[in-house]
Chains A and B, each alone.
Chain A
Amino acid sequence: MSEAAALLAVDGLTKSYGGVHAVRGVSFKLTAGEILALIGPNGAGKSTCFDMLNGQRKPDRGRVQLLGQDITGQPPRRVWRLGVGRTFQITATFPTMTVRENVQVALVSYASQIFNLWRSTPDFQRDEADRLLALVGVEGYAERPCGELAYGDLKRLELAIALANQPKLLLMDEPTAGMAPRDRIELMRLTARIAREQSIGVLFTEHDMDVVFEHADRILVLNRGTLIAEGSPEDVRRDPQVRAIYLGEGLVYDARHQEGAGA
């Protein structure tokens, strides 16, 4: 029963590069509507772990299941079709299109109209595109070239694109990296609100502990490729091992980390 209930079930995920064990036997579960944070110091394997979840990289061993269906090693486009939205640490959008068209491309794909040679894309599901833009608060820029947007707005646009396929799960790799402090809090509040309203599961990595402790229902702590702690924000805050890696081993968490965008 618990297998079927889990939105995302990860079991023994492992990946090495040459002699470096980037991720070692990581297992966890995520239920619908839950917001789960994956944290850890630089080089802990967060991004590698993330990339294996939606097929960006192939794991050496282990299994990823979405609603009981095995999606291990499936290419990103298949995983997306199963209802997984993704945002990137460094935003990936279509700079030569307008902001609205960026969302329309995702809508076209969701409607399986990619090979339609005739319809006008700028008129395709315009209202739905505008609704998504309004949801993330960039409706005022719909006609602007995407390449001109400020970074914070690009992050919002990425979220709108990721929401275009009515996802069940959102994978967000450092959703607030490179943003101004106030924008970070706003964007995460927005994400959390949308996730709760639509019962979307969210898995995100983050360096900003304010963001993590305010919004995460549960936190996973990764160090040197291994999960060392898991639990509620309170439990994790008190965990001696977590304190050690963040405070004790020279990887001091301080203001510089907050501003930096490094992985």
Chain B
Amino acid sequence: MSFYVVQFLSGLASAAALFLVASGLSIIFGVTRIVNFAHGAFYMLGAYVAFSLTERLSGALGFWGGIVSAAVIVALIGVLVEMLLLRRIYRSPELFQLLATFGLTLMVEDLAVLIWGPDDLLGRRAPGLRGAFDFFGQAIPTYDVLLRVLGPVVLGALWLLFHRTRWGVLVRAATQDRDMVAALGVNQKWLFTSVFALGVFLAALGGALQIPRDAVNHTMDLRIIVDVFVVVVIGGLGSITGAFVAAVLVSELNAFGILIFPKISIILVFLVMAVVLIVRPWGLFGKPEAAARQTPGLAVQPWRPLSAQARLAFVGVLILAAALPLLGSNYALIVGAEIAIFVIFAVSLHFLMSVGGMASFGHAAYFGLGAYGVAFLAKLAGLPMVACLLLGPLLGLFGAIVFGWFAVQLSGVYFAMLTLAFAQIVWSIAFQWVDVTGGDNGILGVWPAALVATPARFYWLALAITALSVVVMRVLVFSPFGYALRATRDSGLRSEAVGINSKRIQWAAFVIAGTFAALAGALFAYLKGSVFPDNAGIALSVDSLVMVLLGGVETVSGAVVGAIVYKALSIWLVSYTELSKLVMGAVIVVLVVMFPKGIVGTFDGLIRSGKLSFFKRGSQRATQAEGAE
């Protein structure tokens, strides 16, 4: 019995950090409508800065002073970020805001490694709270008691702040209707900045308080942000009480989940989240979202099918690409095959987010499922390659059917967060369920059949499947199904009023996109000869988003160009610099702020506005040919 009580109490202690970060995220979202992906990075920075300060300052005052100063310092960094970056993107579509703050996260990760090194850092114990006390034979760390008290104290303090101060009233008013608050003459800029500072302060405090409990390292940002997304989805974005209740719930589920499903404890949290989403899609304490802001794509020119010339150009480019084995080295062929595979992956996400208006932050889940599907069939069932390539993606299809059903119940940022959480679940299963998936060691020895075992032949296979996939996806875009899907994106009201079942259409689109991603994953497994949990990782999901964005969200086939450019660039980058995350993060931020239309979109716009008069005559043809490459 006492064991369960201890488990319960330990869950409560973990809830404190989760609550601090989640409440910060919720407060920021309430006022600015930005889901700050970088919140995990601020949490991590809080821990690193607190580590450095408490190492230098001595005594109890030094320790606690160090913790609080760390949170204040990070909050000031947050103010800088808000003024330099976020102010430029408050009016951008949600997807761009999530991406920009994710780019920031990437940069902070590499900077943290630069400053503090890649190894785990063990911080000081809290003075006076070093020991543990005995509870019916079980040891409870004294420090945990402090954390347990802290959660409710912070909740109370926030309540007082929001209900008893003028600033708090303004924040609550802005949460309900920020345009009205602006109309009443409140300086929005400083309100937003101060709210962001408070949110970051809470996250950094949560991170700083972790140093006596846990090692500090550069992966803690992504770990916490996924948990926090789950918390705010359950509790309801914008609700502090919701964040508290959900933080406790998730922490307890984690604490007891370990006892019930020791291998895949995350399943329990997932089940609870699924139930909450069915009963209350906007979370336990949240309010139903008002109409979402413009999704990317609403400013686009109507899409047109390819002209005969453009089709010819597509075939020409394909023939050129197929001639690569005559010129290139084996290395070039392997890179070429990888790029081709990523074209499928990017185009599948493009279908989901540009045609369907559903920006997934976890598209890698289906890529990973496809890869593992092939690995299971090849290694465990011993099936030949053709069978594996055909059946392996079915695992992705199945995953997309299950996850997609939940995901399409939501839209906007909730959709993005939920897809991210699903991808993280797939990743965790691949990582934790060692008996089946091999865990971090992956599954090795997934070799292609002898017929396509040379680099040239495998390249041709990948190119052929890619070309076929791109053509099929284009046909889909202009099919009645594609139009119905775009109709649900353009106007849910109108599409329902002409007999279209939006949710079912979106679900079908989710499954189609997931299956093509799984096909890409299946090919990728054969290209590399192995599968790893990272095939379903966040980094890969974001790669696919950047490819679509780079090519142009509003174009029909920009994703193809985006995938080629991005993949070539990142392969080159990784071989030339250690700081690839820093560069990539900066590229994402610059892209979102200065170049939101992407390569094809910008090119298209220049032609339309007549700045590229050379192309003007065949403007449509020229862009489409570009898009088809």
Residues of chain A having any CB pair with chain B under 8 Å: 54, 75-77, 80-81, 86, 88, 92-98, 101, 104-106, 108-110, 113-122, 124, 145-147, 161, 164-165
Contact A145 B301 (CB under 8 A): yes
**Measured CA separation A95–B484 after assembly (Å):** 13
Neighbour of B302 across the interface among A54, A96, A124, A164, CB < 8 A: A96
Ranked 9 nearest A-B pairs via Cβ: A92-B494, A94-B490, A108-B480, A106-B498, A116-B480, A109-B499, A121-B483, A80-B499, A92-B493
B90 to chain A, nearest CB (A): 23
Considering only CB atoms, which chain A residue lies closest to B491 in the complex?
A: A92
A54-B497, A80-B498, A161-B498 are contacts. A105–B484 as well, Cβ < 8 Å?
Answer: yes
Q: Mark the stretch among B203-211, B263-271, B362-370, B471-479 that contacts chain A.
A: B471-479
List CB contacts (< 8 Å) of B468-521 with chain A.
Answer: 475-476, 478-484, 486-487, 490-491, 493-501, 505, 508
A114-B481, A116-B479 are contacts. A97–B498 as well, Cβ < 8 Å?
Answer: no
**B298 within 8 Å of A (CB atoms):** yes
B499 to chain A: which residues have CB within 8 Å? 77, 80-81, 106, 109-110, 165
A108 to chain B: which residues have CB within 8 Å? 480, 483-484
A105 to chain B: which residues have CB within 8 Å? 483-484, 487, 495, 498, 500
A101-B302, A120-B305 are contacts. A114–B476 as well, Cβ < 8 Å?
Answer: no
B498 to chain A: which residues have CB within 8 Å? 77, 80, 105-106, 109-110, 161, 164-165
A54 to chain B: which residues have CB within 8 Å? 497
**Measured CA separation A108–B498 after assembly (Å):** 10
**Measured CA separation A106–B497 after assembly (Å):** 9
**Measured CA separation A145–B478 after assembly (Å):** 16
**Measured CA separation A58–B302 after assembly (Å):** 35
B182 to chain A, nearest CB (A): 22
A-B contact pairs, 15 of them (CB 8 A): A77-B496, A77-B500, A80-B497, A81-B499, A93-B491, A95-B298, A97-B487, A104-B483, A105-B483, A105-B487, A106-B498, A108-B480, A115-B508, A116-B481, A165-B498
Contact A92 B480 (CB under 8 A): no
Contact B490 A96 (CB under 8 A): yes
**Measured CA separation A114–B494 after assembly (Å):** 15
**Measured CA separation A66–B302 after assembly (Å):** 37
**B292 within 8 Å of A (CB atoms):** no
**B297 within 8 Å of A (CB atoms):** yes
**Measured CA separation A175–B498 after assembly (Å):** 17
The range of chain B's interface size is 20 to 34
The CB with the most chain A CB atoms within 10 A, among B299, B487, B495, is that of B487
B500 to chain A: which residues have CB within 8 Å? 77, 105, 109, 114
**Measured CA separation A164–B499 after assembly (Å):** 11
A81 to chain B: which residues have CB within 8 Å? 499
**B326 within 8 Å of A (CB atoms):** no
A161 to chain B: which residues have CB within 8 Å? 494, 498
Considering only CB atoms, which chain B residue lies closest to A84 in the complex?
A: B497
B327 to chain A: which residues have CB within 8 Å? none
**B300 within 8 Å of A (CB atoms):** yes
A93 to chain B, nearest CB (A): 6
Contact A117 B475 (CB under 8 A): yes
A107 to chain B, nearest CB (A): 9
Considering only CB atoms, which chain A residue lies closest to B294 in the complex?
A: A95
Considering only CB atoms, which chain A residue lies closest to B484 in the complex?
A: A114
The CB with the most chain A CB atoms within 10 A, among B300, B305, B481, is that of B481
Contact B491 A94 (CB under 8 A): yes
A92 to chain B, nearest CB (A): 4
B304 to chain A: which residues have CB within 8 Å? 122
Contact B479 A117 (CB under 8 A): yes
B508 to chain A: which residues have CB within 8 Å? 115
B479 to chain A: which residues have CB within 8 Å? 116-121
Contact B305 A94 (CB under 8 A): no
Contact B480 A114 (CB under 8 A): yes
Neighbour of B480 across the interface among A76, A88, A94, A121, CB < 8 A: A121
Contact A124 B490 (CB under 8 A): no
Contact B490 A122 (CB under 8 A): no
Neighbour of B481 across the interface among A92, A106, A117, CB < 8 A: A117
A226 to chain B, nearest CB (A): 28
**Measured CA separation A145–B487 after assembly (Å):** 14
Considering only CB atoms, which chain A residue lies closest to B300 in the complex?
A: A96
A159 to chain B, nearest CB (A): 13
Contact B486 A122 (CB under 8 A): no
The CB with the most chain B CB atoms within 10 A, among A110, A121, A145, is that of A121
B486 to chain A: which residues have CB within 8 Å? 94, 96-97
**Measured CA separation A161–B302 after assembly (Å):** 18
**Measured CA separation A145–B298 after assembly (Å):** 11
Contact B305 A76 (CB under 8 A): no
A222 to chain B, nearest CB (A): 23
A77-B500, A97-B302, A109-B499 are contacts. A124–B480 as well, Cβ < 8 Å?
Answer: yes
**Measured CA separation A109–B505 after assembly (Å):** 12
**Measured CA separation A95–B497 after assembly (Å):** 16
A146 to chain B: which residues have CB within 8 Å? 302
Considering only CB atoms, which chain A residue lies closest to B485 in the complex?
A: A114
**Measured CA separation A161–B483 after assembly (Å):** 15
**Measured CA separation A98–B300 after assembly (Å):** 11
Contact B483 A96 (CB under 8 A): no
**Measured CA separation A78–B304 after assembly (Å):** 31
A161 to chain B, nearest CB (A): 6
B517 to chain A, nearest CB (A): 18
Considering only CB atoms, which chain B residue lies closest to A109 in the complex?
A: B499
**Measured CA separation A95–B489 after assembly (Å):** 10
Contact A114 B505 (CB under 8 A): yes
Known A96-B486, A119-B479; 13 more pairs at CB < 8 Å = A93-B490, A94-B487, A96-B298, A97-B490, A101-B302, A105-B498, A109-B498, A109-B499, A109-B500, A119-B480, A122-B304, A147-B298, A165-B499
B487 to chain A: which residues have CB within 8 Å? 94, 97, 105
List CB contacts (< 8 Å) of B564-592 with chain A.
Answer: none
A118 to chain B: which residues have CB within 8 Å? 475, 479
B297 to chain A: which residues have CB within 8 Å? 96
